[in-house]
């Protein structure tokens, strides 16, 4: 029994863990998934977006973000800010109202839900009698007016959210106060619109769906005037001076109704149908905005000809003789217009149009000729084409950073020069300590470079690989391009474009060298492009080389897609990354692994058939290695044929389960269970009080060599290490396969003076076969100080210490089921950690990271950051392979989120929580960043033009509630760089158990928010993700988003 006991935790090590490791979900990058409502506060200059999962997100100036979640996971239908207040009201699809406030607590502002309210029907009335259709916050800040389906308007007191029955405006009361000739019962149905008089708060405009609109006197409870339209009413707008009412209708027309003091029944001006005379769709919302120049702006949604353009999502802007119908590629949720804030101003003077579409946010500059779009600093449409892979590069040199920005600025000439108009609050977050890039590969063959240094994920540059290949369509053509005289005057706007010309263009692997400016990208059809950064436009031919990975083996026939046809002649490339060589793998299978060594000018690539090495300086192939097993027929069928292997995979899984059960029965000990001698049990009980149990490992079932896809190359790694003998180190290439095989090749790279004259030579030096044959997901070489080898050219740029080449090197091989350390050059096993045997999980992602201490500036440790198929993130020490901490990060059902995860060199990570959003998390106490902001009080704000201001009176704000949870699961966190001496404490306190033990208890469902996508086909997807590895496109989400929990303060739980 004593062999299962081990000593307790070391107090000094536990203290170090608290200084090194802390789990926090810091910020969400991208565009909210499934938006359902839009709100804007002119006084606070804050934008609010609600989603179908019950989340609300507030945005102001870059870096000012707030997030909250309703207790009910119901869709947010409407959002309304209270005039001049740091409060807003949300309406959910369950007919409940919720009051939210930005309150200052301990020097920071948090978004909190204050009250909730549901309008109840009178006894015996139908439930629809109190179904809220429209919400009007009154300028008195004391009342909410609620229009309902029954035609009644209810008053609710603020902030208590209590119904005031004596202030209800019933449809019967309105009917009795109408003139005799207007008392037609049929005019009353649901309330479609409520508007307060822009000059007189005692008047509100009530619009009913059948076309009746009345101006109601709140003080005298009487009808001041009314008008009746012949068409069904959709919405109304009151001109700024109150002398004109504009109504829009279901037939695609709008009417103007002049208001006079002596006329009780208004007569309209001739109605106008902008895109008639043929039947048109309804105009659902309209703005009539005055300007100092005299010509008003008319901005409306819908109204397009039903037969020809009924499927378009359009918002039209009309100003004098100028008229444009902005055509969006996704459904328009809502829109608003930013105008003069001062209520005493004589004119609206609109300066920006804000449109919330289903897949993006678009802001248009109304003061610049042509109404160009404004480039957003946040809310980027990450999924403008489906994301297929991602790659993070830390600490970018300033020169490369500036060159990338310069190349991207030449792509942004279509944007307006206006500063971002939604600039409420001031970000107090410290400047990012370093420049980081997040590169995303997309289904349409593009690579996007994002500034991932701070809170806002900002697009810097877009690279397209389409120009290298012959396509049926010209990539410069616009699908909606029209001539100047065509009608309607459509103009495509926005960046969301879910359509790909050819799925073979999809980017699957990216590798960027930040020191040399070389970039390697690999795609779905076996194409590997090597690119170099060029500040000038150039026209040249891309050299093409074919790599036959099958090496003319007989009996194999590729059944998948064909290769892409490359252009033979010169191609013109814009400034930025320009390809100079194309390596085409044969068969043209998906590239599953990629590595680039810019110092040696070598690029390695792998597919399901094998791997190869290419010298991109001499433009020649060094070698190819076929890894196919005779049973790997599935590797030749292509990605679209993988589903055929489902039955075979399930059959093999059940066979392994039966073998496992059989072996368990054979290992079962004889004797009566639980029969323990009394004396020994007493001694063991005493020992257990001071010792903790060591986990009992179960046997890892070895996989058969005949399992499909054993030749699938999962990882490639360059290293300068001792491979042949312990006296000389040499360049080497390591490759790990799906069948648990590791190949090592020694390389001879000529010196710089003879680099172009002598070829690079390679020779296989080692081959390691893991006994359990689990897929190899990571390879790492540690130097004599047990530190991972530096990146290429990192030492030459004095950004890293030279590796220790005196002591013995070690090889770390990470498979899905265990970590194993070998000595070099003998390759003898030294240490191992059986992850699957202990916990039943499998490694999906692994990366070496440096964890700095939050107390000692000069202290840090190198460890492994690990993500498993259960969604846990772990830290494993190097080189002793001791598990340090484990946290629950991603829902285990979220297969796509787990597959999309990428780690950084500083212990942070990104993963997709939806097709359009990255969740950022951190495992480090030192590298934490958090949105911290100041929000001005409403009384001190007086913005009259679209510019950034910061008034003297401020209130502290915070975007997300950061905190280290005692169970190791962060509920929401912030974005802050902790300097030495600072220590962020969570609710668990300094002795939080999340940092004191190896395995942290799983938290029971509680008040937390986690954006997870439950896949209806998750079993099939998990099986296919095992077969296909990293090749799955993260953009294929047939799912719905579920948010778990109750109330949030900027992402944290209450």
Residue of 469, 331, 276, 280 whose CA lies nearest to 34: 331
Alpha-carbon torsion angle 954, 959, 960, 961, nearest 10: 10
CA distance 116 to 162: 10
**Residue 103, preceding peptide bond in cis (omega within 30° of 0):** no
Q: How many CB atoms lie within 10 A of CB 366?
A: 23
Give the residue-averaged pLDDT of 266-279. Answer: 87
Residues in contact with 592: Cβ distance below 8 Å, sequence separation at least 6, in sequence order: 508, 509, 606, 607, 608, 712, 713, 714, 1029, 1030, 1031
CA distance 229 to 41: 32
Residue-level pLDDT at 187? 57
CA distance 282 to 270: 18
The tens digit of pLDDT for each residue in 83-111 reads: 988 899 999 999 999 999 988 787 778 89
Residues in contact with 743: Cβ distance below 8 Å, sequence separation at least 6, in sequence order: 611, 625, 627, 734, 735, 736, 737, 764, 766, 767
For residue 174, the surrounding DSSP H or E stretch is helix 171-176
Window from 282-296, 603-617, 885-899, 1023-1037 with minimum mean pLDDT:
1023-1037
CA distance 271 to 278: 15
Residue of 366, 368, 339 whose CA lies nearest to 240: 339
In 853-976, the DSSP E strands lie at 860-868, 872-877, 883-888, 902-903, 908-914, 917-924, 932-936, 954-958
Residue-level pLDDT at 653? 63
Residues in contact with 377: Cβ distance below 8 Å, sequence separation at least 6, in sequence order: 62, 420, 456, 458
Cβ atoms of residues 1053 and 1007 within 8 Å: yes
CA distance 1053 to 113: 11
What does the mean pLDDT of the chain come to? 82
Distances (CA, A) of 931 to 426, 429, 435, 961, 1050: 10, 6, 17, 9, 10
Confidence class for position 955, pLDDT limits 50, 70, 90: very low
Q: What is the pTM of this model?
A: 0.83
The tens digit of pLDDT for each residue in 801-810 reads: 888 888 899 9
Residue 577 falls in which region: left (phi positive, over 0), alpha (psi -120 to 50) or beta:
beta
Phi, psi of 896 (to 5 degrees): -65, -40
Residue of 272, 360, 349, 276 whose CA lies nearest to 313: 360
Q: How many CB atoms lie within 10 A of CB 769?
A: 11
Residues in contact with 840: Cβ distance below 8 Å, sequence separation at least 6, in sequence order: none
Residue of 304, 296, 298 whose CA lies nearest to 327: 304
Distances (CA, A) of 84 to 142, 157, 938: 12, 17, 5
Window from 177-181, 858-862, 982-986 with minimum mean pLDDT:
982-986
Sign of CA dihedral 967, 1012, 895, 358: negative
CA distance 505 to 447: 11
DSSP β-bridge partners for residue 109:
104
pLDDT at 560 over 60: yes
538 burial (CB, 10 Å; 0-12 / 13-18 / 19+) is middle
DSSP β-bridge partners for residue 364:
353, 373
DSSP designation for 61: S
Question: 697-735 burial, b for 16+ CB within 10 Å, e for fewer?
Answer: eeebbebeeebbbbbbbbbbbbbbbbbbeeeebbbbbbb
Cβ atoms of residues 274 and 292 within 8 Å: no
Q: What are the strands of the beta sheet with 518-523, ordered from one edge?
A: 507-512, 518-523, 527-534, 576-586, 543-548
Cα–chain center distance at 928? 18
CA distance 624 to 614: 9
CA 642-643-647 angle, to 5 degrees, is: 115
Q: What is residue 324's three-state secondary structure?
A: strand
The tens digit of pLDDT for each residue in 354-410 reads: 999 999 999 999 999 999 999 999 999 999 999 999 999 999 999 999 999 999 999
Better-predicted residue by pLDDT, 969 or 439: 439
Q: What is residue 73's three-state secondary structure?
A: coil
Residue of 321, 241, 229 whose CA lies nearest to 269: 229
142 burial (CB, 10 Å; 0-12 / 13-18 / 19+) is middle
pLDDT at 706 over 60: no
Residue-level pLDDT at 23? 95
pLDDT at 112 over 60: yes
Residue of 606, 614, 594, 596 whose CA lies nearest to 793: 596
Give the residue-averaged pLDDT of 787-816. Answer: 89
pLDDT at 274 over 50: yes
CA distance 980 to 984: 11
For residue 723, the surrounding DSSP H or E stretch is none
The tens digit of pLDDT for each residue in 176-230 reads: 888 877 676 565 689 999 999 998 999 999 999 988 899 999 999 999 988 888 8
Sign of CA dihedral 913, 649, 656, 774: negative
Give the residue-averaged pLDDT of 627-654. Answer: 59
Q: What is residue 213's three-state secondary structure?
A: strand
């Amino acid at each position: 029994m004593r062999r299962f006991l081990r000593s307790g935790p070391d107090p000094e090590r536990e203290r170090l863990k608290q200084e090194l490791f802390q789990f926090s979900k810091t910020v969400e990058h991208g565009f909210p998934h499934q938006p359902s409502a839009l709100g804007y506060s002119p006084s606070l200059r804050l934008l609010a977006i609600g989603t179908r999962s019950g989340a609300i997100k507030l945005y102001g100036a870059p870096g000012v973000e707030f997030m909250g979640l309703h207790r009910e996971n119901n869709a947010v239908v409407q959002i309304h800010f209270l005039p001049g207040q740091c409060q807003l009201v949300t309406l959910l699809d369950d007919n409940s109202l919720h009051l939210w406030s930005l309150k200052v607590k301990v020097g920071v502002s948090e978004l909190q839900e204050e009250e909730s309210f549901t309008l109840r029907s009178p006894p015996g009335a139908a439930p629809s009698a109190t179904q809220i259709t429209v919400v009007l916050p009154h300028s008195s800040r004391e009342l909410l007016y609620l229009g309902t389906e029954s035609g009644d308007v209810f008053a609710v007191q603020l902030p208590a959210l209590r119904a005031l029955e004596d202030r209800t405006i019933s449809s019967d009361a309105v009917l009795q106060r109408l003139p005799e000739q207007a008392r037609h019962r049929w005019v009353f149905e649901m309330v479609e619109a409520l508007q307060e008089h822009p000059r007189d708060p005692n008047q509100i405009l009530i619009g009913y769906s059948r076309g009746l609109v009345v101006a109601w006197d709140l003080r005298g409870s009487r009808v001041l005037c009314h008008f009746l339209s012949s068409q069904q009413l959709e919405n109304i707008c009151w001109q700024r001076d109150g002398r004109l009412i504009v109504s829009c209708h279901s037939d695609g027309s709008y009417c103007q109704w002049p208001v006079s003091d002596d006329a009780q029944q208004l007569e309209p001006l001739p109605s106008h149908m902008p895109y008639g005379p043929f039947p048109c769709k309804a105009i659902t919302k309209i703005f009539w905005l005055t300007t100092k120049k005299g010509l008003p702006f008319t901005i409306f949604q819908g109204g397009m000809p039903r037969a020809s353009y009924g499927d378009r999502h359009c918002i039209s802007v009309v100003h004098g003789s100028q008229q444009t119908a902005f055509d969006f590629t996704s459904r328009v949720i809502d829109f608003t217009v930013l105008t003069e804030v001062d209520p005493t101003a004589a004119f609206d003077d609109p300066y920006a149009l804000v449109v919330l579409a289903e897949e993006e946010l678009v802001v248009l500059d109304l003061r610049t000729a042509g109404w160009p779009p404004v480039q957003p600093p946040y809310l980027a449409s990450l999924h403008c084409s489906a994301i297929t892979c991602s790659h993070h590069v830390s600490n970018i040199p300033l020169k490369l950073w500036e060159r990338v920005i310069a190349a991207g600025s030449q792509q942004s000439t279509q944007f307006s020069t206006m500063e971002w108009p939604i600039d409420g609050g001031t970000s107090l977050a410290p400047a990012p300590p370093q420049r980081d890039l997040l590169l995303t590969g997309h289904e349409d063959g593009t690579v996007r470079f994002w500034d991932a240094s701070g809170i806002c994920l900002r697009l810097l540059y877009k690279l397209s690989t389409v120009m290298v290949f012959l396509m049926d369509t010209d990539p410069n053509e616009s699908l909606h391009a029209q001539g100047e005289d065509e009608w309607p005057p459509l103009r495509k706007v926005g960046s969301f474009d879910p359509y790909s010309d050819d799925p073979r263009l999809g980017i699957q692997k990216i590798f960027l060298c930040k020191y040399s400016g070389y970039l390697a990208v690999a795609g779905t059809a076996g194409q590997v492009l090597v690119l170099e950064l060029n500040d000038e436009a150039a026209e040249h031919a891309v050299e093409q080389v074919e790599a036959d990975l099958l090496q003319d083996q007989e009996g194999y026939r590729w059944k998948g897609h064909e290769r892409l046809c490359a252009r033979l002649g010169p191609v013109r490339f814009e400034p930025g990354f320009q390809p100079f060589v194309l390596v085409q793998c044969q068969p043209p299978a998906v590239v599953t692994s990629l590595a680039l060594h810019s110092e040696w000018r070598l690029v390695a690539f792998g597919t399901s058939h094998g791997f190869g090495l290419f010298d991109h300086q001499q433009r020649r192939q060094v070698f190819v290695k076929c890894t196919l097993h005779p049973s790997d027929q599935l590797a030749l069928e292509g990605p679209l044929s993988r589903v055929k292997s489902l039955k075979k995979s399930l059959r093999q899984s059940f066979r392994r389960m039966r073998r496992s059960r059989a072996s368990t029965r054979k290992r079962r000990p004889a004797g009566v269970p639980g029969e323990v001698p009394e004396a020994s049990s007493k001694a063991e009980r005493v020992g257990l009080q001071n010792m903790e149990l060591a986990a009992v490992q179960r046997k890892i079932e070895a996989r058969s060599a005949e399992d499909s896809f054993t030749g699938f190359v999962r990882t490639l790694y360059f290293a300068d290490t001792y491979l042949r003998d312990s006296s000389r180190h040499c360049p080497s290439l390591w490759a790990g396969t799906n069948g648990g095989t590791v190949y090592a090749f020694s390389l001879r790279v000529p010196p710089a003076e003879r680099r172009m004259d002598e070829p690079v030579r390679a020779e296989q030096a080692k081959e390691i076969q893991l006994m359990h044959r689990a897929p190899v997901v990571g390879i790492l070489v540690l130097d004599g100080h047990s530190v991972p080898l530096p990146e290429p050219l990192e030492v030459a740029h004095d950004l890293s210490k030279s590796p220790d080449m005196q002591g013995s090197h070690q090889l770390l091989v990470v498979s899905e089921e265990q970590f194993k350390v070998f000595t070099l050059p003998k390759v003898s096993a030294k240490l191992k950690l059986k992850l699957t045997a202990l916990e039943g999980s499998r490694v999906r992602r692994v990366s070496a990271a440096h964890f700095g201490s939050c107390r000692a500036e000069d202290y840090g440790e190198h460890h492994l950051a690990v993500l498993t198929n259960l969604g846990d993130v772990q830290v494993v020490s190097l080189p002793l392979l001791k598990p340090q901490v484990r946290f629950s990060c991603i829902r285990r059902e979220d297969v796509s989120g787990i597959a999309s995860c990428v780690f950084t060199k500083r212990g942070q990570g990104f993963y997709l929580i939806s097709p359009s959003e990255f969740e950022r998390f951190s495992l480090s106490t030192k590298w934490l960043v958090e949105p911290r902001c100041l929000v001005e009080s409403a009384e001190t704000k007086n913005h009259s033009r679209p510019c950034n201001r910061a008034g003297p009176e401020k209130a502290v704000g915070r975007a997300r509630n950061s905190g280290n949870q005692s169970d190791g699961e962060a509920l929401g966190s912030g974005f802050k760089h902790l300097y030495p001496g600072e220590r962020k404490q969570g609710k668990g306190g300094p002795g939080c158990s999340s940092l004191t033990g190896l395995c942290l208890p799983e938290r029971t469902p509680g008040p937390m928010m986690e954006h997870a996508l439950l896949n209806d086909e998750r079993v099939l997807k998990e099986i296919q993700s095992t077969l296909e590895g990293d090749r799955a496109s993260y953009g294929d989400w047939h799912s719905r988003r579920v948010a778990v929990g109750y109330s949030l303060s900027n992402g944290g739980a209450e």
